[in-house]
Amino acid sequence: MTTLDRKPAKAEGRKDPWSQLLDKVGKHQDREAYHALFEHFGPQIKYYAMANGLASHAEELVQEVFVSIWRRSCLYDWRKAAASTWIFTIARNQRIDMLRKMQRSSAEMLVETEDLWQIPGDNEDEPVTSLHRLMSERRIRESLSHLPEEQITVIAKVYMENKSHQMVADELDIPLGTVKSRVRLALNKLKVILQDQNV
């Protein structure tokens, strides 16, 4: 495999370029597309591992995530999740899986990581709501640029460093209530909170 710097083709319809590439991997076992995904997402996954304390296993995590992407790509449905969202959930699950395996023998694992943390689109009964899903990533990227730094910092610690709200509060030396209100403000602006109560 050459290190060709392959730019994804222009988006067809609402399918973003990375989702097109992932689709090709799933449908045709397209290795060029797979390599392009590796070049784009590999560094992100490596950073993710480093940020959450798996620095000495960072490239191992990249490998596990990509092997998993290959195996599961035939299940990928771009209408159910953008490629980046799908790959994020695989990276999250592989990280959890790696930590679980370090902490105990597999005989003790009654439930698999995927029984607890779902990959979007795995549930076949799930309705296809493509427009909402694909819009949301674009919308989040756009809204994120308008958020105050203090809110982004908190969200980054939760997602990248895998700290609980309590741990973020301890680290930043601010009350837990402040952390929660920053998250709520951010989620409000990102329109993640649609209706929290009595829906």
**What minimum distance in Å lies between the beta carbon of 198 and other proteins?**
7
**What minimum distance in Å lies between the beta carbon of 10 and other proteins?**
20
DSSP string, 34-46: HHHHHHHHHHHHH
**Does 189 sit near other proteins (CB under 8 A)?**
no
**What minimum distance in Å lies between the beta carbon of 2 and other proteins?**
10
**Does 21 sit near other proteins (CB under 8 A)?**
no
Contacting residue, 147, 158, 172, 185, with other proteins by CB under 8 A: 158
176, with CB counted inside 10 A (0-12, 13-18, 19+), is middle
In angstroms, rounded to a whole number, what is the distance separating the alpha carbons of residues 147 and 132? 21
Ranges within 67-86 binding other proteins (CB under 8 A): 67, 70-75, 81-82, 84-85
Ranges within 23-52 binding other proteins (CB under 8 A): 29, 31, 35, 38, 42-48, 50-51
What the block records as the tokens of 161 is: 């460093």
- Which residue from 11, 66, 73 is spatially nearest to 39, judged by alpha carbons? 66
81, with CB counted inside 10 A (0-12, 13-18, 19+), is buried
**What minimum distance in Å lies between the beta carbon of 53 and other proteins?**
13
In angstroms, rounded to a whole number, what is the distance separating the alpha carbons of residues 21 and 39? 12
**What minimum distance in Å lies between the beta carbon of 34 and other proteins?**
9
Ranges within 84-143 binding other proteins (CB under 8 A): 84-85, 87-89, 91-93, 95-96, 103-104, 108, 110-111, 115-118, 120, 123, 126-127, 129, 132-133, 136-137, 140-141
> In terms of CB distance, is 9 or 94 closer to other proteins?
94
> In terms of CB distance, is 3 or 13 closer to other proteins?
3
DSSP string, 137-174: HHHHHHHHTTS-HHHHHHHHHHHTS---HHHHHHHHT-
The upper half-sphere exposure of residue 60, i.e. CA atoms within 13 Å in the direction of its Cβ, equals 8
**Does 165 sit near other proteins (CB under 8 A)?**
yes
